[in-house]
Amino acid sequence: MNLKDKIRVINDFPMPGLRYRDITTLLRDPEALRELVDRMYEALKDRQIDVVVGPEALGFVLGAAVAYRLGAGFVPVRRPGRLPGDTYRYEYQIEQGRSDTLEIHKDAIEKGQRVAVVDDLLATGSTALASCQIVKQMGAEVAAVCFAMEMTMYSGRELLEGYEVFSAIKY
Amino acid sequence: MNLKDKIRVINDFPMPGLRYRDITTLLRDPEALRELVDRMYEALKDRQIDVVVGPEALGFVLGAAVAYRLGAGFVPVRRPGRLPGDTYRYEYQIEQGRSDTLEIHKDAIEKGQRVAVVDDLLATGSTALASCQIVKQMGAEVAAVCFAMEMTMYSGRELLEGYEVFSAIKY
């Protein structure tokens, strides 16, 4: 199955001139969803993953399905103020000098656990890198970083140098 | 396995006097996540589900894992402005006279499809009811509504009268 055929292109979203790849048309297709999750599972299955970390919000979709398939746990990384327990906050730079903040529960990951960071999209890689750095600061190991789609023109893979990076679909 | 043992109670969140049931401590536990998803799968597996609809954000976690397990597709229902394609907007009443809005892609569900609405929590039931009404307005059938947790004191099941309602964990 060519998964690209299932991804809709939306022109001028979220800004004029951009071609947004809308993964929701893939997710709603049972065979395509299964194929995508299975490809991500194949990339991770021999890496002894204890926990999948998924950034809000589409990282929840693929992260949870991949965690279930792996027999791993799932840990959400969220925007500030949305997790109910004690959290670590992590502020990081995104494009154009702006910053963003992620939170994770302090007890979400144990020292020494092997973690896969899973998200829908690798573009600049800033959110994934922040998620990796959170995991490392908690004393756990980033065993892999795994995406549904990769936009190679943004060179996110370079920002993630030193990590094992996998993407199921490349543009 | 007693799944309640895996759910953390956080007092006075999000408001003083409330006891918040934090499902993230269950999700991060591999055996508990598997058991929970399998229980939801068992409740849905004979209902010929084509598509699982999950409301943002924790509905993405369980909805996607259950959809994968069922061999169904997954469709996100989101807060306004976050879906890239053409959407239907649906405004609905929540507690204390306030309203909230959900959006779904216009082409996300086909007429006649059998849909399961999946979310983490049944409390008042207003978000789940809104999701069901969106599905019906699109000409599809709500075959079941399935939750990880149900807070019976809020009587959400009454609001969802006429729908098949299942919850894996009751409080």
Q: Could you tell me the CATH number of the domain that includes residue A132? A: 3.40.50.2020
The Cα–Cα gap between B147 and B21 comes to: 14
Touching check for A3 and chain B: CB below 8 Å?
A: no
Q: Please work out, in degrees rounded to the nearest 5, the angle formed at the alpha carbon of residue B147 by the alpha carbons of B141 and B150.
A: 130
Beta carbons of A74 and B28 less than 8 Å apart: yes
Burial status of residue B32 (CB atoms within 10 A of its CB: 0-12, 13-18, 19 or more): buried
The Cα–Cα gap between A53 and A49 comes to: 10
Q: What mean pLDDT is reported for chain B?
A: 96
Q: How far is B134 from chain A (nearest CA, A)?
A: 16
Does residue B125 lie in a domain region? yes
Does residue A86 lie in a domain region? yes
- pLDDT, tens digit, for every residue of A103-114? 999 999 999 999
The predicted pLDDT at position A47 comes to 98
The predicted pLDDT at position B15 comes to 87
The predicted pLDDT at position A96 comes to 79
Does residue B156 lie in a domain region? yes
CB within 8 Å of chain A, chain B residues 36-75: 37, 50-51, 54, 56-58, 60-65, 67-69, 71-75
Residues lower than pLDDT 70 in chain B: none
The DSSP call for residue A14 is: S
Does residue B40 lie in a domain region? no
Does residue A92 lie in a domain region? yes
- pLDDT, tens digit, for every residue of B152-161? 999 999 999 9
pLDDT at A97 exceeding the cut of 90: no
The predicted pLDDT at position A14 comes to 85
The predicted pLDDT at position A56 comes to 96
- pLDDT, tens digit, for every residue of A114-149? 999 999 999 999 999 999 999 999 999 999 999 999
- pLDDT, tens digit, for every residue of A29-84? 999 999 999 999 999 999 999 999 999 999 999 999 999 999 999 999 999 999 99
Does residue A28 lie in a domain region? no
The predicted pLDDT at position A100 comes to 94
Prediction ipTM score:
0.96
Bridge partners (DSSP) listed for residue B144: B116
Beta carbons of A24 and B64 less than 8 Å apart: no
The candidate with the shortest Cα–Cα distance to B145, out of B56, B26, B55, B78, is B55
Does residue B67 lie in a domain region? yes
Residue A61 amino acid letter:
V
Count of domains for chain A: 1
Does residue B2 lie in a domain region? no
**The domain containing residue B68 runs over which residues?**
46-170
